[in-house]
């Protein structure tokens, strides 16, 4: 009995040693257990968005696993994904404990993130045209929008737009290049042709040798030959919320639809307000409303005047060039003969013109629907036009000023009721009521032709001027010049009065051209 008891004691000691050895081996050789070290927290429970996702040996592992989980969630979509990711750990110090496999923790994290996706931003394109911007879903929509602007003016569908990186910009910005479909096909064929380089060299060599030959009328293609956008365009890649994107058809309507924009029309010879209204397709009342210088349809306009008009223009302008053939009657340019002895107001036609006829190839440049330039690139005259020949003066003509300072206009030029006995019913000048003794000056420089009493005029002064005109100053109280005397513009010549046939103190003033009185107010500066 004693022997059996000793045996069991030895057996229990052996079993205890084996158990202790097994624990030591598991601690040092099994990776899912943490060895105990007296260094503080050595196991960490991981939480992502307040959900437990696993157990790790240190917080750094949790960060690495979270990065991988985010990468997996982002890889599930081609778009930019925004997701809440609040990572935290709770540590403790243990003798030994089991940590979770990395793959399991990453899977748990990915599941949490997928359930907490805040929003998905779509890879999109922002198209900027001057100050206008529109957001489109993809690159093909951008091309479709820009192509629609070209197609509006390209009836044959010959031109197309390509998007290319802008080499002058550091960021990813696309710019436009307009080319013909024929050119695109040709470049593609040359690219795949092994003899393209040789062919190009030979073409260049022959062009250097062969002289340029002038084109005949049949050699011109005619029609549309060039297109380009008239506004600056930028296309930038961006990530946007779906609500910020515009349907491409709506964008096309916004960009290509004409809007009323202000422009300036310069009046040319022969224009009337009614003709301008028809020419610009603007109702007369609207034309008058837009221009403060116009009171009504009878308002006077002069060559060179600028009027505000409205023109229909889209947000994206398109510039194009077209070659056209036509035949027309034409006028030769006027030939001028300068005469230094004449004033610029003097001119005489020495030869009357007659129209010629010609065949023409013209290159017209359009901005949208408006022709902004025309150049004749080939011309064949059927019969020559005869030019108009005009002799004209070069001297600046003298000017005329009001002969008194102040005064009230009391009688205009033209028909009137007889103001007093002996007075004429047709007034040949203008009257300014002014106190007796007011200074009277020469309206223009010249030579005094008469100075003294003039019957109905009372005391009067006549002055002859270099341009052949004459001025008369009547009803004076005192004459300060004499006949034959030379006077300058603004020189004091008399004092106003009430002499002759007069209704009261005033100055009577006349201008005569070719011996006949005209309305002086039309000639005073």
What is the edge-to-edge ordering of all strands in the sheet holding 223-229?
Answer: 223-229, 318-330, 356-367, 370-383
CA angle 317, 321, 325 (to 5 degrees): 145
Which tokens go with 372? 């902004």
Q: If residue 375 lies in a helix (H) or strand (E), which one and from where to where?
A: strand 370-383
How does strand 389-395 pair with strand 335-343?
parallel
> 3-state DSSP call for residue 185?
helix
Instruction: Quote the pLDDT of residue 24.
Output: 54
Instruction: Quote the pLDDT of residue 22.
Output: 57
Name the residue with tokens 């930019």. Answer: 80
For the chain, the distance separating the N- and C-terminal CA atoms, rounded to the nearest angstrom, is 153
> 3-state DSSP call for residue 310?
strand
The rounded distance, in Å, linking the Cα atoms of 467 and 443 is 13
Q: What is the mean pLDDT of each run of 10 residues along the chain (525 residues)?
A: 49 60 52 53 87 89 87 69 77 84 88 67 86 91 94 92 82 86 71 53 54 81 93 88 90 90 86 88 89 88 89 91 95 95 91 96 93 93 96 93 94 74 74 96 97 92 95 97 97 96 92 93 91
Helices (H), 159-269: 181-192, 196-209, 248-256
The rounded distance, in Å, linking the Cα atoms of 519 and 521 is 6
Instruction: Quote the pLDDT of residue 211.
Output: 59
The rounded distance, in Å, linking the Cα atoms of 265 and 279 is 10
Other Cβ atoms closer than 10 A to 355? 12
* Global model pTM greater than 0.75: no
Of 480, 487, 481, which Cα lies nearest the Cα of 464? 487
Which tokens go with 387? 């030019």
The rounded distance, in Å, linking the Cα atoms of 224 and 159 is 10
Contact 344, 329 (CB under 8 A): no
Instruction: Quote the pLDDT of residue 338.
Output: 96
Instruction: Quote the pLDDT of residue 374.
Output: 93
Give helix 102-115 / helix 59-75 axis angle, nearest 10°.
50
Give helix 139-151 / helix 248-256 axis angle, nearest 10°.
30
């Amino acid at each position: 009995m004693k022997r059996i008891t000793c045996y069991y004691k030895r057996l229990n000691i052996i079993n205890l040693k084996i158990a202790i050895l097994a624990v030591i081996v598991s601690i040092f050789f099994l990776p899912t257990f943490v060895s105990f070290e007296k260094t503080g927290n050595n196991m960490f429970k991981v939480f992502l968005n307040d959900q437990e996702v696993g157990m790790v040996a240190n917080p750094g592992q949790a960060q690495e696993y979270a990065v991988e989980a985010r990468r997996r969630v982002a890889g599930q979509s081609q778009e930019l994904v925004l997701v809440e990711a609040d990572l935290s750990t709770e540590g403790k110090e243990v003798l030994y404990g089991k940590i979770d496999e990395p793959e399991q923790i990453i899977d748990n994290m990915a599941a949490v993130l997928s359930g907490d996706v805040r929003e998905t931003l779509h890879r999109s394109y922002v198209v900027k045209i001057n100050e206008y911007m529109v957001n489109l879903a993809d690159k093909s929509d951008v091309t479709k929008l820009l192509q629609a602007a070209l197609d509006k003016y390209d009836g044959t569908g010959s031109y197309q737009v390509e998007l290319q990186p802008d080499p002058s910009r550091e960021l990813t910005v696309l710019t436009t290049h307009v080319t013909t479909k024929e050119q695109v096909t040709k470049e593609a064929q040359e690219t795949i042709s092994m003899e393209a380089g040789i062919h190009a060299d030979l073409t260049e060599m022959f062009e250097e040798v062969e002289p340029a030959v002038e084109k005949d009328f049949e050699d011109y293609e005619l029609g549309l030959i060039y297109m380009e956008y008239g506004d600056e365009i930028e296309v930038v890649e961006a990530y946007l919320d779906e609500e910020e994107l515009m349907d491409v058809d709506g964008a096309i309507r916004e960009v290509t639809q004409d809007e009323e924009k202000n422009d300036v029309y310069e009046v040319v010879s022969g224009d009337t307000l009614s003709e301008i209204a028809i020419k610009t397709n603007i109702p007369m009342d609207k034309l008058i409303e837009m221009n403060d210088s116009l009171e009504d349809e009878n308002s006077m306009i002069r060559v060179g005047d600028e009027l505000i008009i409205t023109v229909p223009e889209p947000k994206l302008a398109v510039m194009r060039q077209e070659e056209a053939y036509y035949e027309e009657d034409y006028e030769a340019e006027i030939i001028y003969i300068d005469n230094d002895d004449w004033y610029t107001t003097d001119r005489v036609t020495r030869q009357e013109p007659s129209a010629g006829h010609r065949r023409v190839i013209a290159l017209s440049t359009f901005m949208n629907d408006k022709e902004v330039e025309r150049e004749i690139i080939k011309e064949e005259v059927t019969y020559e036009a005869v030019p108009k020949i005009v002799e004209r003066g070069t001297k600046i003509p003298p000017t005329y000023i009001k002969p008194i300072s102040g005064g009230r206009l009391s009688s205009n030029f033209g028909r009137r009721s007889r103001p007093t006995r002996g007075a004429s019913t047709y007034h040949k000048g203008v009257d300014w009521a002014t106190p007796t003794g007011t200074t009277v000056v020469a309206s223009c420089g010249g030579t005094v032709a008469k100075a003294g009493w003039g019957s109905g005029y009372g005391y009067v002064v006549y002055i002859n001027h270099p341009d052949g005109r004459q001025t008369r100053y009547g009803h004076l109280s005192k004459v300060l010049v004499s006949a034959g005397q030379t006077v300058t513009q603004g020189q004091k010549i008399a004092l106003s009065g009430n002499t002759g046939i007069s209704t009261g103190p005033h100055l009577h003033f006349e201008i005569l051209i070719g011996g006949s009185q005209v309305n002086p107010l039309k000639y005073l500066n």
